Amino acid sequence: MTSRSLAAMAAVVLLMPAALLRAAPPLQLPVETAQLRPSPLAGYAIAAQKCGVCHSADYVDYQPPGMKLAQWTAEMVKMQRAYGAPISDEEVRLLGVYLASTYGDATTVSEAERALRPAVASIAPQAAAASSDGAAAKTGVDGLLAANGCLACHAVDRTVVGPAYHAVAAKYRTDPEALAQVAASIGRGGVGRWGAVPMPPFPDLSAVDARALADYVLRQ
């Protein structure tokens, strides 16, 4: 076999992966059907808002049965510190209580722990009260973005998991009902408007907070 033939064969082999990639169909994720087990515990709302940002609710069911409160709490600490989950130390504790009570060994959770509630209330009223102060209002919105894990899925100028805020603002630029529509979408979540990846609902987000976030997005 000549050196020219060998070179031609090598070129074909090198080009094959690129050709295969071009021919590969686009990846289509399945629609999320798993649901977290409802609970009156404070951690349920946090899990509904934030855990679905990174993984399916099935992930919880895949954990060993009978995990104790300390084990579930340690799992939440790992999510927070090793994987960068957008959850505070307080939310780690509340999530541990919810998961141990609902999926694990409920006998390891005390009544006092079940009664725990988030210490931080709505942030948006602070921003609304300070609406004449641009810096203070921005601080309030920044707090909402952080508290609800918005920036885990969105960025201002690029697609992450969900669309860029620039793209959302552009889509609604001429819509007189934009503020109400975007605020409603933030609260109820959904799938299909921007692709197959679902956005989790935020049932505990107040109407004022939702409008504050919608206003921020539409100004981008």
Least confident of 8-17, 170-179, 211-220: 8-17
How large is the average pLDDT for residues 80-100?
91
DSSP strand E in the chain: where? none
Q: Which residues, other chains included, contact 206 with Cβ-Cβ below 8 Å and sequence gap of 6+?
A: 122, 124
Look at 136 and 97; give whichever has higher pLDDT: 97
Mean pLDDT value of segment 8-37: 61
If you search the block for the tokens 């931080």, which residue do you land on? 120
Q: Coil, helix or strand for 199?
A: strand
Segment 61-73 mean pLDDT = 94
Report the mean per-residue pLDDT for the chain.
Answer: 80
Q: What is the reported pTM?
A: 0.56
- The pLDDT, as a whole number, for residue 128 is 41
Q: What is the pLDDT of residues 93-133, one digit of tens each?
A: 999 999 999 999 999 999 999 999 887 544 444 434 444 44
Q: Which long-range contacts (CB under 8 A, 24 or more apart) does 168-171 make?
A: 168/217, 168/218, 168/220, 169/217, 169/218, 169/219, 169/220
Which pLDDT does position 182 carry in this prediction? Answer: 95
Residue 192 in this model has a pLDDT that exceeds 70: yes
DSSP state of 82: T
Distance CA 171, CA 96 (A): 39
